[in-house]
Structure formats: structure tokens, C-alpha cells
Amino acid sequence: MFLVGLSGGIASGKSSVVQVFRDLGCAVIDADAIAHQVVKPGYPAYHRIVQAFGREILLENGEINRQALGSIIFRHSEKRKLLNAITHPDIRKEMLKQILKYLVQGYRYVILDIPLLFETKTMLRFMKHTVVVYCDPQTQLSRLMQRNGLSREEAEERIAAQLPLEEKRQLAQHILDNSGEWEATRRQTLHLHSQLEDSLDFLPLRLGLFAGFVGIIYLLSQHLLL
Ligand SMILES: CC(C)(COP(=O)(O)OP(=O)(O)OC[C@H]1O[C@@H](n2cnc3c(N)ncnc32)[C@H](O)[C@@H]1O)[C@@H](O)C(=O)NCCC(=O)NCCS
Ligand SMILES: Nc1ncnc2c1ncn2[C@@H]1O[C@H](COP(=O)(O)OP(=O)(O)OP(=O)(O)O)[C@@H](O)[C@H]1O
């Protein structure tokens, strides 16, 4: 089994692309969804976050108010580092569990949607392929403002909390350009999917060729000996 690390910038279109892979039946691990899971009441990270950020970041039902926490951590880099230090080890453990689950289920590859893949680098070395979902800066800003109902300043703050998308683009093996119409991105995603599928055939093909070669040598040797 091999791992495919998929990343991008905030609101560049990662979740939309990942949905295409899901629809194709691929195994997908979503780091954002795991980040939401490991901070639920009762989980160890929940208590550490309440200790560090105070009860004012809680909703009435006791759950973490992610909107409130987000507005703190995207504004203050030291708070962001603190939240990352609390949550990232638990996120990594859960990702590892899910990788093992997919391995046992017999999937040949798993797509990991990790927004901070290139920032933290921890998971990077395990990826056979890396993919960046890119869009131009203006498109990213306007999609983020629209989706989250943010002012320009707030959206710029969130974009600045990550490595520039242009830099991520330079670091990835595969780029999906999501600056334009969705249909164009969907087509690129389908093409990438077939490339990944093809790379699956590589090992069985090599084994097949090797077995064929051994077989021919055997037959030739039998023929020559007779
Ligand atoms: C800040 C939080 C509370 C905001 O929650 P919310 O539901 O509003 O947003 P969501 O989780 O869907 O994240 C949206 C996007 O924000 C960006 N983002 C999230 N956390 C961070 C971070 N620590 N640094 C930079 N960008 C981040 C990512 O691009 C992500 O895709 C939440 O994202 C969080 O707990 N983040 C810390 C854990 C983390 O690093 N998650 C990223 C995946 S590893
Ligand atoms: N090609 C496109 N054309 C128009 N809108 C798009 C396109 N691709 C994505 N969007 C919209 O842009 C927004 C961001 O997309 P999406 O949620 O997939 O990004 P993301 O990278 O997963 O975001 P995050 O980093 O916050 O998790 C969504 O509202 C989505 O519907």
C-alpha cells in the first residue's frame, strides 16, 4: 500500500477534490475531520485546550466553539503554535490508526487530506505522491471570504497563517489547478486518479515480467538440455 499526501491552502478546494476521490471509491483520511473529533468533550486534548484557552471558547453544551477558537489562533501565531502542539500528536495517532484500518481492508493506496502537510513536514516523508490543490491568490481570498463570511482582513489573516500556496505548489509532485471552472478541476482529478491507478500496476507488472523471464529461461534450458 502507498500513501498520497494531498494539501493546498485554506479554501483552495481540497475537500471538493477529495470528494471526487471518495466518489470513485478511494480510501481517504481527512485531517480536519480528525482535528474536530479529537477535541470533543472527554478526549484528552479537550481538557488541555480548556486549560490553555479558558472556558470562554466553549459553547453552551460544553463543546469547543471552533469559530471562537479559530478567531484567536488565526490572529495570534503563538496561540496557534500552542493549539497545534496540543492537537497534532493526537491527530497523527488517529491518522495512523486509519491508515492501518485501510491496510487491513486491502486498499492499495490511501489519500491523506492534510492542510498543513508542508508546514509541519512530519508526515511528508511517508508519502509516495504529493498533490497540491492550487488556486490563484485572488480566487482563494474571495472563495474564503464568501464561504466563511469573513471580511477581507480576516481572510487575509487566515491565509497568512499558512505557507504561501505558491510555495506549496513548488514542493508538490502533482498540481491540480482549481482557479477556474469546477468541471476543469474535476477532469484534472480524474486524470490524476488514473495516474495513481497506473502506478499500482507497476509492481504486479514487474513481478509478472520477472516470472515470465524466469519461465522462458526454464523452458529454454529444458529445450537445450533435451
Ligand atoms: C482552528 C479550528 C478550531 C477552526 O475550526 P473550523 O471548523 O472553523 O475550521 P476547519 O477545522 O474546517 O479548518 C479549516 C481550514 O483552516 C486551516 N487551518 C486549521 N487549523 C490551522 C492551523 N493550526 N494553522 C493553519 N491553518 C489551519 C486549514 O486550511 C483547514 O483546512 C480548527 O481548525 C483546529 O482545531 N485547528 C487546529 C488543528 C489543526 O492543525 N488542524 C488542521 C489539520 S491538521
Ligand atoms: N472550481 C470552483 N469554482 C467555484 N467554487 C469553488 C471551486 N472549488 C471550490 N469552490 C468553493 O470554494 C470553497 C472552498 O472549497 P473547499 O471547501 O473544497 O476548500 P478546502 O481547501 O477544503 O478548504 P479548507 O482549507 O477550509 O478546508 C467552497 O465554498 C467550495 O464550494
- The CATH number of residue 41's host domain is 3.40.50.300
pLDDT tens string 96-154 = 999 999 999 999 999 999 999 999 999 999 999 999 999 999 999 999 999 999 999 99
Handedness of CA 132, 135, 30, 204 (dihedral sign): negative
CA dihedral of 56, 60, 61, 65, whole degrees rounded to 10? -50
How far is ligand 1, taken at its centre, from the CA of residue 32, in Å? 6
Considering the entire predicted model, what is its pTM?
A: 0.90
Return the pLDDT at 202: 55
C-beta pairs of 105-108 under 8 Å, 24+ apart in sequence:
105/27, 107/1, 107/26, 107/27, 108/1, 108/2, 108/200
How far is ligand 2, taken at its centre, from the CA of residue 95, in Å? 23
- Can you tell me the distance from the alpha carbon of 133 to that of 13, in angstroms, rounded to the nearest whole number? 6
Q: Which of 106, 129, 160 is the last residue of a domain?
A: 106
- Name residues contacting ligand 2 (CB within 6 A): 8, 10-16, 32, 115, 143, 147, 178, 182, 185
Q: Which of 106, 124, 147 is the last residue of a domain?
A: 106
pLDDT higher at 81 or 211: 81
- Name residues contacting ligand 1 (CB within 6 A): 10, 31-32, 35, 66-67, 69-70, 73, 80, 83-84, 87, 91, 114-116, 161-162
Per-residue CA distances from 64 to 43, 99, 116, 144 (Å): 12, 27, 21, 22
Same domain, yes or no: 6 and 116: yes
- Can you tell me the distance from the alpha carbon of 211 to that of 188, in angstroms, rounded to the nearest whole number? 35
CB 83 within 8 A of CB 92: no
Same domain, yes or no: 193 and 147: yes
What is the atom index within ligand 2 of the atom nearest the CA of 179?
1
